[in-house]
Structures are given as C-alpha cells and as structure tokens.
C-alpha cells in the first residue's frame, strides 16, 4: 500500500500504543503459566504471531480469531503450564524476530521436534548463536539450510545447564533462554562472551519475569540491571503466576518516538503535541525524550501522569549512541535530516540485522528526499545543514520503523512524499496513520494492492 504524506503541521492529543516488547513477553509468560490475562496488549502482526505460537504449544488465547483480537482490551491466555506440547504443524513466525527467538527456546522444552519458519525477511536474520547455545545445552537445534537462519528445527526436551553466548548480536537470545530456563529442571546460567548490547531490552525481561513471580538476576554487576552484566542466572523449577492473575502492558516508547519527533519538527506554531500513556518503565527507548531535548526540542515529560508534551523547535545535530536503543536509529535519523549541523548515530552496526538493514535504509531513503548522509559500518551521519527535504517516492523496505520515520520526515519535506509499503506499520503501531491524521498530518492511503 502506498501512503502519500503532504507537508503539514500537527497539534493535539494522542495516546501511545501499548508496548510491543512487553506484549510479546507477556503473552509467552502467560503461556508458560497455568493461565493469565494480559491487559492492554498491543495487538499487531508481530504479537499475533506470538499468540499463535502459544496456541501451537497447547495453550489458547481468547479472543482467538484475527477478526476479534484486534479490538481486544485484554487477552485471556490458557497456558501450557511450562510444558509446551509438540506442535501439530510448523510454527510460522511471519516477520517477527522476537517471536522466533523467544519461541525457539520454548520449543526446546517440548519432548519432540518443532519446526519454525517465517517470511523472507525473517528467514534472512541471524539465529545461529541461539541455536549453538541450545546445542551446548543438549538440545538438537539446527538451521535447515545450515546457515544459522530459519527454517529452524528444534528437538528437546531441555533440562537446563550452563552456556556461553555472545551479547552483541541480539539481546533476545538472552531473553529467550531466561524465559525458558525458569521452567527447566536445572535452570540456566548464561555467560556472556562479548559485552551486552541493547541491555534495556533484557531489563524489560527481568522486570516482566518479576511481575510473573520468576526469579532471575544479572551476574557480575553491582546494579540490579542488565548493563555491564557478565551473564545471567535463572533457577529452574519455577512457576509463572502474575499477582491477581493478570498483567498490564505499559505504553510503547519505540512508538512514542515517532510522535515526539513529529511534534519536534512539525508542531503548529504556538501549539503542542500531547502524548498520553508514557508511564516510566524499563524501556530504553524512553531515551528519545533526552535525545530530543539535547537536540533543542521544547519537551516536557510528566512521569507521574505519563504525559509528554512537545513543541516545534529549532533542532541542532548531536551524537547519539544507539548501542542500547537500536530501534531509535530511524527516528533519530529523521530528526537529524531536519536539524542544523551534523547528527552522528554511533555504535549502530547491530541495527543492520533487523527487519532490514536500517542503517542503509535510512541513509538511502533520506537521500532520496534530499538529505546528505554518510554511511560507515558502525556510524550513520546526517548533515542536516546540507539537507533540503523535498517530497519524493521512497521505499519503506517492508519495515514498520522505516515507514514511520520517513512519514515524520515527510511532514517537513516540500510537497508530497509517497511511502511504499505503508501497511507494514501493522507490525507495531497499526493505528499510526490514523493517529497522525487526527493530529493534522495530510495523509492519503492507497488500496491494499498498491
């Protein structure tokens, strides 16, 4: 689907969608339990893939139909009690890397063989370190193409043990092993062979596990968080059970980042964009508030009320390290294209292994709009002072975060910008263009077959 965004201003109040990261983990945690309710979930293409996996393992998610689930204010999960059944069919993780990695470890608990696959993009993403870790733990875990990529074949059961794994490829490997390890007989102790990147995403996991009554902790750090940890430990024989039988998903700061950016570059003069649902949590992407402020945005975050207000401001380029916040790279790149001076996004090589190579995608698509960019293996530089954004046709790369970030840039590009693949916002923020239209974005959507 093509989406056409014409230069426009925004103002008014909107609400952040629920967190995709928390929803994935909550659905699977509820699956590991005897049953639990997930309140205020994000229902998107990605999280629906995780719900399907829970069902494939012998659980159930109500409402179950794709038609009804999209409007659900809560999902009632009948869990499989920590012992997943061998699925009747292949598990299709669609485009969701989080689903595949979390479900790969869950599959290892089943006493039999599970096959996982996904779409073309997902089948190109690295799973090798997680497969190797499971093999070291005594599980058959292999890529059918012997390249560390899906389709994957996993045969358990997993008893637990000690394992070494790199920390600089994907924090989701750690999350997957911690979540599965809690219900093994022996528990799992993880030794990190390289420093952990995206540590806040492991903090999200530790926070959610605690909410479900699961004990897990970092090793080799004086803090309670994942940053600087040498490894992680989760005892076995535990049971997932949230207090009161339910868990409420917080707002999503990755999605909030596009709303903040839109306000900072295109809020109507004298007006603000007000974002509700921004309660503090372990999400590293809440760093977008500090990043926008450092760039010169007039921004305020009432943490107690969970409300962010942002006004259009004259922005200046800064250096941003996205080692712990990879999902913010597209948003920061869009801000950099509008800001004066240079914006340097550093420590970003791992961002190349997402739904697409997001470093190259943002460099190339922003250049199509008239931005000056310099791409290096681990650095993306946007020269805002040399950029003059003009509407053009750009490719969303079948990546929700690229689509939404380009839409932010399109707000200030002269004329109309056409974004290919606009439907991919369904992955994390299905109502994105509706929310932006309500704020004043001039947007038209083509037919689904465009």
Residues involved in catalysis: 327
Q: How many residues does the chain have?
A: 450
Is 445 one of the annotated binding-site residues? Answer: no
Is 354 one of the annotated binding-site residues? Answer: yes
Is 197 one of the annotated binding-site residues? Answer: no
Instruction: Name the DSSP letter for residue 414.
Output: B
Neighbours of 354 (CB within 10 A): 22
Is 25 one of the annotated binding-site residues? Answer: yes
Q: What is the dihedral of CA 14, 245, 190, 185, to 10 degrees?
A: -160
**Cα separation of 241 and 210, whole Å?**
10
Handedness of CA 39, 42, 48, 53 (dihedral sign): negative
Is 233 one of the annotated binding-site residues? Answer: no
Is 279 one of the annotated binding-site residues? Answer: no
Q: Distance between the two ends of the chain, CA-based, in angstroms? A: 5
E strands along 166-249, which residues?
Answer: 188-192, 217-219, 231-234, 246-248
Question: How far, in Å, are 18, 139, 234, 275, 390 from residue 127 at the CA level?
Answer: 27, 15, 22, 36, 39
Is 171 one of the annotated binding-site residues? Answer: yes
**Cα separation of 148 and 448, whole Å?**
34
Q: Output the DSSP codes for 120-140.
A: TTGGGS--HHHHHHHHHTT-E
Is 236 one of the annotated binding-site residues? Answer: no
Is 97 one of the annotated binding-site residues? Answer: yes
Alpha helices for 163-198 (secondary structure H): 172-181
Q: Cβ distance 274 to 64 under 8 Å? A: no
Is 223 one of the annotated binding-site residues? Answer: no
Q: Cβ distance 164 to 292 under 8 Å? A: no
Task: Locate 179 and state its tokens.
Answer: 């979540």
Is 238 one of the annotated binding-site residues? Answer: no
E strands along 133-284, which residues?
Answer: 140-143, 152-155, 161-165, 188-192, 217-219, 231-234, 246-248, 273-276
**Cα separation of 370 and 388, whole Å?**
5
Residue with tokens 């943490």, as numbered in its chain: 303
Residues 6+ apart with CB under 8 A from 300: 308, 309, 310
**Cα separation of 223 and 167, whole Å?**
18
Binding residues for 3-phosphoshikimate: 20-21, 25, 170-172, 198, 327, 354
Binding residues for phosphoenolpyruvate: 20, 97, 125, 172, 358, 401
Binding residues: 20-21, 25, 97, 125, 170-172, 198, 327, 354, 358, 401
């Amino acid at each position: 689907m093509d989406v056409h965004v014409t230069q426009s201003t925004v103002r008014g109040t909107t609400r952040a969608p629920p967190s995709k990261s928390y929803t994935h983990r909550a659905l699977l945690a509820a699956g590991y339990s005897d049953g639990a309710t997930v309140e205020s979930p994000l229902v998107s293409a990605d999280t629906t893939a995780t719900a399907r996996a829970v069902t494939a393992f012998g659980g159930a998610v109500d409402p179950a139909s794709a038609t009804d689930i999209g409007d659900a204010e809560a999902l009632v999960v009948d869990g499989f009690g920590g012992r997943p059944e061998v699925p009747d069919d292949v598990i299709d993780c669609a485009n969701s890397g989080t689903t595949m990695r979390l479900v790969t470890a869950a599959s290892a608990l089943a006493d039999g063989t599970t096959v996982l696959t996904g779409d073309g993009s997902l089948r190109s993403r690295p799973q090798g370190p997680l497969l190797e870790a499971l093999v070291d733990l005594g599980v058959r875990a292999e890529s059918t193409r012997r390249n560390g990529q899906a389709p994957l074949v996993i045969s358990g059961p997993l008893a637990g043990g000690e394992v070494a794994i790199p920390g600089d490829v994907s924090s989701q490997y750690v999350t997957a092993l911690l979540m599965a390890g809690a219900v093994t007989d022996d528990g799992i102790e993880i030794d990190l062979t390289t420093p952990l990147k995206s540590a806040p995403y492991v903090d999200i996991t530790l926070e959610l596990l605690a909410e479900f009554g699961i004990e897990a902790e970092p090793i080799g750090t004086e803090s309670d968080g994942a940053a600087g940890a040498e490894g992680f430990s989760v005892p076995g024989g535990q049971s997932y059970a949230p207090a009161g039988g339910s868990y409420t998903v917080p707002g999503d700061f990755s999605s909030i980042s596009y709303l903040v950016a839109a306000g900072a570059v295109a809020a109507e003069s004298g007006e603000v964009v007000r974002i509700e649902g921004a309660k503090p949590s372990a999400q590293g992407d809440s760093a977008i508030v500090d990043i926008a402020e450092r760039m010169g945005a007039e921004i305020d975050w009432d943490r107690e009320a969970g409300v962010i207000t942002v006004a259009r401001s004259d922005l200046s380029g800064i250096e941003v390290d996205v080692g712990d916040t990879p999902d913010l790279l597209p948003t920061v790149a869009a801000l950099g294209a509008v800001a004066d001076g240079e914006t340097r996004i550093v420590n970003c090589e791992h961002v190349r292994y997402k739904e697409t190579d997001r470093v190259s995608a943002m460099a190339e698509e922003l250049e199509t709009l008239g931005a000056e960019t310099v791409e290096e293996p681990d650095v993306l530089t946007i020269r805002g002072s040399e950029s003059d954004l003009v509407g053009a046709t750009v490719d969303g790369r079948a990546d929700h975060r690229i689509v939404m970030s380009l839409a932010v840039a399109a707000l200030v590009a002269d004329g109309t910008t056409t974004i290919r693949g606009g439907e991919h916002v369904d992955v994390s923020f299905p109502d994105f263009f509706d929310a932006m239209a309500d704020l004043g974005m001039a947007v038209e959507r083509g037919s689904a077959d465009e």
